[in-house]
Amino acid sequence: MLTYSDQLTMSHVGLGNLNEYALLIAFGNAHSKALVHGLDINADQIVDAKGRQLYPAYFMTHLTVPPHLLLNSHTLWDDLEVGVDVRRFGDTLLDSTYMICQEGDGQGVDQDAMAALAGERVTMTANSLFVVDASVDNSTERQIAIPKPDCLAPLEKMAKPPAAIKRAREVRMAGLGEGETMEQLASCAPFTYELLPGRDTHANHAMIFAKFSEIMNVAEYDLLTRQLIPGLSHRLYDCLRLLEREVYYYGNCFGGERLQVFLKGKLEPCAPDFHGKNLRLISGGILTLTIEIYQEKDNTLLSMAKVKKLVAIPTQAQELKSDLDRYFHMAGKG
């Protein structure tokens, strides 16, 4: 297991607090460091027997945030402790667990903490596969690849395949609604997102995994503030805080391509102290969404996800709770 200190700088969060995208990138960095830990190379020097550069492509990420420790409680210039544990199944499949905590909180992010504090800390489990972007018939095709043994840190081996392989297939077949009534909120038309080269992608590179969550957030904003009638006010929307996001990645995309995002879900009341004892917040409700992303050009499925968010209303803005309650009343949930 690799642990190290990391400070939240403007490179991570701009002028704001910790957000989902910045956290995913931080975990991605931790993963890359762990793969070459103890070797005198960087992650971009992982190659296969032919000398081709490989990289791990995530096919599942599951981020969990405890309600009493919301991401935005970590602020610019905070010192964090980051921990990552990577194991492998065979040569190409990776299984990883991540955790962050405030440095100096006395508990750390060691192996025991990973197991014991999973529900108490910001954690992520993920699975990835080593791939190479190979040129085939004038196009780029992602292919499974095997790293040279001396390019990879010694990683603990797993005896059984990661459960996410089976789960990914089940999700692709049956979705992530899992029997819940998810039709209360549904996009009347797909949200279209155009990938701008330089902003969303880089030349000759597929989109980074964290960008999927960011696009889901943009589509969620559109659904809740523009398609919902009447839509959530921007101030109420700003109260949404991530609790959980489970994502399955079935394909990827490049700059210039257009994506279609479909959402459905529900917004339900919750206990006002759902987040714990912090008197500066009032828990107003739980938003649950299932999200699917497709290539617009040919309807290829790229990703499926389920997200849960808490409407965490600042106590000094309690009038927003009335707005939310009015929404529940209209929706028959009050």
Partner 1 sequence: MADMSKVEETINKVIGDIQEQQGLRKVELENSLEIVADLGFKSLDIAQLIASLEVELGTDPFSTGVPLADVVNMGDLYNLYQAHA
CB-based contact 290:265 (threshold 8 Å): yes
- 116 Cβ neighbours under 8 A, 6+ residues apart: none
Spatial distance between the Cα atoms of 324 and 309, rounded to a whole number of angstroms: 14
- Find the binder of partner 1 among 15, 115, 159, 189 (CB under 8 A): 159
- The minimum distance between CB 59 and partner 1, in angstroms, equals 6
- The minimum distance between CB 232 and partner 1, in angstroms, equals 38
Burial class, 34, CB count within 10 angstroms (exposed 0-12 / middle 13-18 / buried 19+): buried
- Find the binder of partner 1 among 11, 38, 40, 50 (CB under 8 A): 50
Residue with tokens 């009335």: 322
- Find the binder of partner 1 among 14, 16, 161, 334 (CB under 8 A): 161
Residues in 58-77 at the binding interface with partner 1, rule: CB under 8 A: 59
Q: Would you say 90 or 256 has its CB closer to partner 1?
A: 90
* Residue 89 sits in the site that holds partner 1 (CB under 8 A): yes
- Find the binder of partner 1 among 65, 84, 86, 93 (CB under 8 A): 93
Q: Which helix (H) or strand (E) holds 113?
A: helix 111-116
Phi-psi region of 179 (alpha: psi -120 to 50; beta: other; left: phi over 0): left
Residues in 172-211 at the binding interface with partner 1, rule: CB under 8 A: 173
- HSE-CB of 135 using CA atoms within 13 angstroms: 3
From 18-26, 91-99, 106-114, 210-218, span contacting partner 1 (CB under 8 A): 91-99
Q: Give the DSSP letter of residue 10.
A: H
- The minimum distance between CB 36 and partner 1, in angstroms, equals 18
Residues that bind partner 1 (CB under 8 A): 49-50, 59, 89-93, 129, 131, 142-146, 148-149, 159-161, 165-166, 168-169, 173
